[in-house]
Structure 1
Amino acid sequence: MGGGTGSGLGTFLLKVLADEFPEVYRFVTSIYPSAEDDVITSPYNSILAMKELNEHADCVLPIDNQSLFDIISKIDLVVNSGKLGTAVKPKSLVTSNAGTFKKRQEKPFDAMNNIVANLLLNLTSSARFEGSLNMDLNEIIMNLVPFPQLHYLMSSLTPLYTLADVNIPPRRLDQMFSDAFSKDHQLIRANPKHSLYLACALMVRGNVQISDLRRNIERLKPSLRFVSWNQEGWKTSLCSVPPVGHSHSLLALANNTCVKPTFMELRERFMRLYKKKAHLHHYLQIEGMEDSCFTEAVSSLSALIQEYSQLDATQSMPVEDLPRLSVAV
């Protein structure tokens, strides 16, 4: 999102796909820049790309660069501490040729990319392997996107340690479900438990029974806040083939209002540059780019933020009991 190629070329291809294949759902995995991004104009690129995502994407899985880095750092801490019976393979990403741990001076982009790749592998597992309760990709949009504009889904993975070349004992099944809703396992900096759920999907791989799924949903429901009109907004999937080296794994996708602060922070960074018209001339030199492109893009993002704010406002509203039908005897 922050670079010119990802935001410009990526959204151009998205628009072409929308024109050529309008009936096919378009999934986008977008990487949002962190506050320490080394691209000065990343707020411009990201805001312009957001407008295209709002208009031409059917489902967006936002991922935060800082969250990816935090996850890799946490994996390194576990490996370096030697806890949990950790065993590191000789040619692991977290070891040097001499068998000692690397001290990462720069962001470990390969390992961060592995996390995103693992997300996509779990997302498409039902299309590649058999299972007792497989989920078609189209069902994700049908069940998790109640309104066209609110198609941004939070994603979380557990166990996270499948993403590095590290062998550790598997997590207990119930703990795996709890981890999926904790802020430490989210691929964007947010705490979904403090915000409102519109819908949620649990995509499980491995030796897990439907009864295990239902038991954990009932266990977690009291701690999660769903919109009043979709209290049973759960979608589940069971794929019988687990990730290599693990007995089970879980990908949770949630349509949650906690994504709003990420958009607000992005808009704030954009406005700091745009108010001074800093670096704007680089864009206006390009044929077809006008100042109105920026105002329309930030207006589109503001409208999206407003929709999430309106949903958040419903949290404090009492739920009305609908009158039941009376049957004449």
Structure 2
Amino acid sequence: VSTAVVEPYNSVLSTHSLLEHTDVSVLLDNEAIYDICRRSLDIERPTYTNLNRLISQIISSLTTSLRFDGAINVDITEFQTNLVPYPRIHFMLSSYAPVISAAKAYHEQISVPEITSAVFEPSSMMAKCDPRHGKYMACCLMYRGDVVPKDVNAAVATIKTKRAVQFVDWCPTGFKCGINYQPPTVVPGGDLAKVQRAVCMISNNTAVAEVFARIDHKFDLMYAKRAFVHWYVGEGMEEGEFSEAREDLAALEKDYEEVGAEGVEDEEEPEDY
């Protein structure tokens, strides 16, 4: 969906910087959000405005606790505490539910168990990767509106019984829930329906590596021919910065692989050594 041909370069170079200088990064992928708009909101050709309105719901949910009161508040600093097991493993998947159009809202059932189940669906992820291919290290569920802790606990208990939602062996409990009584707000005349309750999930899943693998592949195809590199060099960059950033992302993919395999290796060790 990008308008820039050099998108793979920009993604690799910026991720290289984000690795070093940020504590938590939330991945948002235009292509994934574009598909959600088409599928869930029945918008034939979504524009950046449609995409941004959906992204704004995620950002709004992240900062709700700073702005309103709730039963179990999640402070913004807690994201790092609860979601990041190792400093480099800080790239989060995000999802939001319910994403329904105003036209459909009247005859849709949006109970707490339903929206909780929806945020774990691969099609709800705002980055193009399948969480079923990876393992969760931690999940943060932020509920808004007419939600009580009893319903949340029941919904989370149901999720834990699903085989599709797998956690790494060394972090079996990984759920953090926040409840805020302020119902979600929508842009007047926008695509999203005004609903009584919503949930935003920010999760740390090893499947994020799929996103990096895809970017790296596109990067390699272009960099092999040194396509457009002269633009960057002309602006004062050095060619070495490209290979340095690319190596860092290769190392990051490996990090995710190791984190997902940690418990497996321990199990395979013989008893008497």
Q: Where on the TM-score scale, by shorter chain, does this alignment land: which range?
A: 0.7 to 0.9
Deviations 1:221-268 (A, max 9, x none): 132211111101111101011114321110111100111111001011
Deviations 1:125-183 (A, max 9, x none): 1111111111100011111011111111111100012xx55560351221111101001
Structure 2 residue aligned with 1:282: 231
Query: Which amino acid is the alignment partner of residue 301 of structure 1?
Result: L
Q: Distance in 1 between matches of 2:126 and 2:203?
A: 12
Q: Distance in 2 between matches of 1:176 and 1:75?
A: 14
**Helix, strand or coil: the match of 2:57?**
helix
**Helix, strand or coil: the match of 1:131?**
coil
Are residues 1:175 and 2:123 paired? Answer: no
Q: Identify which range, 223-232 or 259-268, moves more after superposition.
A: 223-232
Are residues 1:241 and 2:189 paired? Answer: no
Structure 2 residue aligned with 1:310: 258
Which of the residues 6, 10, 16 maps onto 1:51?
Answer: 16
Structure 2 residue aligned with 1:298: 246
TM-score (norm 1): 0.74
Q: Distance in 1 between matches of 2:262 and 2:161?
A: 18
TM-score (norm 2): 0.88
Instruction: State the shift of 1:113 in Å.
Output: 0.6
Kept in 1, the 8 Å contact 2:25–2:92? The answer is: yes
Q: Identify which range, 37-46 or 133-142, moves more after superposition.
A: 37-46
Aligned length: 256
Q: Distance in 1 between matches of 2:229 and 2:257?
A: 30
Q: What is the root-mean-square deviation of aligned Cα atoms in Å?
A: 1.8
Q: Distance in 2 between matches of 1:75 and 1:218?
A: 26
Q: Distance in 2 between matches of 1:247 and 1:283?
A: 48
Kept in 2, the 8 Å contact 1:228–1:319? The answer is: no
Q: Distance in 2 between matches of 1:265 and 1:312?
A: 19
Structure 2 residue aligned with 1:86: none
Query: Which amino acid is the alignment partner of residue 251 of structure 2?
Result: A
Structure 1 residue aligned with 2:190: none
Q: Distance in 1 between matches of 2:232 and 2:113?
A: 51
Which of the residues 208, 223, 230 maps onto 2:171?
Answer: 230
Query: Which amino acid is the alignment partner of residue 66 of structure 1?
Result: E
Q: Distance in 2 between matches of 1:218 and 1:251?
A: 17
1:54/1:166 CA distance change after superposition, 3 Å? farther
Instruction: State the shift of 1:283 in Å.
Output: 1.2
Instruction: Considering Cα pairs closer than 8 Å and 6+ residues apart, tell me whether 1 or 2 has the greater RCO.
Output: 2
Q: Determine what percentage of the aligned residue pairs are the same residue.
A: 30
**Helix, strand or coil: the match of 2:202?**
strand
Q: Distance in 1 between matches of 2:170 and 2:195?
A: 37
Q: Distance in 1 between matches of 2:265 and 2:244?
A: 33
Paired residues for 1:132-147 under 5 Å: 132-147=71-86
Which of the residues 214, 220, 225 maps onto 1:271?
Answer: 220
**Helix, strand or coil: the match of 1:63?**
coil
Deviations 1:171-205 (A, max 9, x none): 12211111010012111122213311111111011
Structure 1 residue aligned with 2:211: 262
1:257/1:137 CA distance change after superposition, 3 Å? same
Q: Distance in 2 between matches of 1:285 and 1:165?
A: 49
Query: Which amino acid is the alignment partner of residue 268 of structure 1?
Result: H
Kept in 2, the 8 Å contact 1:61–1:155? The answer is: yes
Structure 1 residue aligned with 2:151: 212
Q: Distance in 2 between matches of 1:197 and 1:70?
A: 23
Structure 2 residue aligned with 1:252: 201
Q: Distance in 2 between matches of 1:76 and 1:253?
A: 22
Q: Distance in 1 between matches of 2:41 and 2:68?
A: 31
1:76/1:138 CA distance change after superposition, 3 Å? closer
**Helix, strand or coil: the match of 2:176?**
strand
Are residues 1:62 and 2:27 paired? Answer: yes
Q: Distance in 1 between matches of 2:73 and 2:212?
A: 33
Structure 2: runs of 5+ lacking an equivalent:
186-193, 269-273
Structure showing greater radius of gyration is 1
